[in-house]
Amino acid sequence: MKELADIVRAFEQMEQEKQRMALATVVHVEGSSYRRPGARMLVSEDGRYIGAISGGCLEGDALRKAALAIKQGKKKLVVYDTTDEDDAKLGVQLGCNGIVRILFEPLNTNQNDFIKGLQEILLTRNPQVLVTGFNRNHAEHWGTLLHNQVVTIELPVVQEAIQRVLSQKKSEYILVDSNEGKQEVYIEYILPPVSLIIVGAGNDTMPLEAMGRLIGWNTTVVDGRPTHANAQRFPQADNIIVGKPDAVIPKLTIDDRTAIVLMTHNYNYDMAFLQAMYSQSFRYIGLLGPAAKRDRLLNDLKEQGMLFSESQLSNIYGPTGLALGAETSAEIALSVCAEIMAVMENRIPIHLKNQLTPIHSKI
What pTM, to 2 d.p., does this model score? 0.85
Is residue 246 very low, low, confident or very high in pLDDT (cuts 50, 70, 90)?
Answer: very high
Q: Please, which residues have CB within 8 angstroms of residue 1's CB and are 6 or more apart in sequence?
A: 121, 190, 191, 192, 193, 216
Confidence check: pLDDT of 89 > 50:
no
| pLDDT digit string, tens, across residues 145-169 | 876 666 556 678 888 898 999 999 9
Neighbours of 25 (CB within 10 A): 24
Q: Strand 143-146 to strand 128-134: parallel, antiparallel, or no bridges (unpaired)?
A: antiparallel
Q: Hey, is 150 helix, strand or coil? A: helix
**Alpha-carbon distance 75 to 69, whole Å?**
6
Confidence check: pLDDT of 303 > 90:
yes
| pLDDT digit string, tens, across residues 326-344 | 999 999 999 999 999 999 9
